[in-house]
Amino acid sequence: MSKKIDSLLFPSFCINCKTGTPEEPPSLRWLCLNCHKLLITRWQKVSFKPEITESYYIFDYQKDKLAKKLIHSLKYDFVKEIADTFYVSLESERFNLRRLTFDFIAPVPLHKRRLKERGFNQSELIAKKIAEITEIPILDNIVKRKIYRRPQMEVKNREARIKNTQNIFECLDVEKIKGKTILLVDDVATTGATLKECARTLKSAGAHSVLSFTLAQD
């Protein structure tokens, strides 16, 4: 279907105020210009030590309701283009992102079953933009989610969350990461159990250290 017919059949609306939005640019398709001004980033730090040396995020999942709404649509309504909306937010944190020191970017992988359901990995979309801003490459297929577990969102208790992520990752290329510092990228972190487990896998495979960046902290 051509893009033009597509937009006639499926006109787009701002997810926040429901006014009609233009087809271009993609960053304004799901959030209008006025509502974009409400999506304010704040560079913040959280501790997922000792596995992760430094951890950063730009939205508070509980306070920044609009960011939450957008992330939810990206993940659970499968609206891939919402990643373009966040590109603007990441762009506004260009200075802070470029200040970080690392060798490679690695998005937290989805299990292939979940990837098939969703059609894309949201962490990979965020990672791509960070790679563009920092001019530091993404390491593709460096870590794999080898075991399918229920989503962390459904696991409420902290201990159960840690258990739910234990040994789920596997490093696929030990040579590439030996002695390197890797920036792990994900959409949302809560207890950090997934990020920490992923970092643990990378470090036991020989990575020197791991940093993390998520859009939001819950």
Contacts to Zn ion by CB under 5 A: 14, 16-17, 32, 35
In contact, 215 and 86? CB cutoff 8 Å: yes
- Comparing CA positions, the residue from 171, 189, 184 lying closest to residue 53 is 184
Q: Return the closest-CA partner of residue 127 out of 142, 110, 106.
A: 106
Residues in the chain: 218
- 158-165 vs 193-204: helix crossing angle, rounded to 10: 40
Q: How far is the CB of 13 from Zn ion (least distance, A)?
A: 8
In the complex, least distance from residue 10 CB atom to Zn ion, rounded to whole angstroms: 18
As measured in angstroms, the least distance from the Cβ of 24 to Zn ion is: 16
Nearer to Zn ion, 18 or 98 (CB): 18
Q: Which is nearer to Zn ion, 32 or 195 (CB)?
A: 32
Question: In terms of Cα–Cα distance, which of 8, 17, 192 is closest to 108?
Answer: 192
Q: State in Å, rounded, how far the first CA of the chain is from the last one.
A: 39
> Minimum CB separation from Zn ion for residue 38, in Å?
8
CB of 18 to Zn ion, least distance (A): 7
How far apart CA 113 and CA 201 sit, in angstroms, is 21
